[in-house]
Amino acid sequence: MDEPGVLWLPSNNYFPGREKHNVRWLIIHGTAGFNSAQEVGEFFQRTDVSTHYTIGRDGVIVQSVREHDAAWGNGYVSEGHDPWWSKGLNPNYVTISIEHVKPSRDNSDALTTIQTEVSFRLVKNICERHEIPRRRADATGGITGHYSMDPVGRHFCPGPYPWEELFSYLAR
């Protein structure tokens, strides 16, 4: 595993090696259903979707795809996307994705306190490993939500997320 202490539930849904692209962005997701990170990890083993990590409401982290591979979590780039995304490049090749378990189908659940703490640490560690800018995303990289590349189909993803607190934490 890439992050110490995570539960490894591997998915076969990934692109090996990222086609030699470098990671530049970290994408925050909400699960829009499910009750645990383990349940999401098992789902990723049965269906044609995956993210690198899932953080449960209890703080458990499941890793489903190694960071040197591209998970299948970001789908495609839709109309109205942030200007740095290209429809000519699969965004999965240049991103690492973290799901956050949110039982509500509309992602309206706030993160739990432990989920927030674990998320912030994981984001920081991934940014350090891949030299991802520890700030809001722009054309050179950074951190954003799934809505950034698919404001049509994923406008509600990740739902409520403590962005300002994250960036304050990362600035320390």
Q: Which CATH class is domain 7-171?
A: alpha beta
Distance (Å, whole) CA 156 – CA 43: 21
| pLDDT tens, N- to C-terminus, the chain (172 residues) | 899 999 999 999 999 999 999 999 999 999 999 999 999 999 999 999 999 999 999 999 999 999 999 999 998 899 999 999 998 999 999 999 999 999 999 999 999 999 999 999 999 999 999 999 999 999 999 999 999 999 999 999 999 999 999 999 999 9
- CA end-to-end span of the chain, whole Å? 26
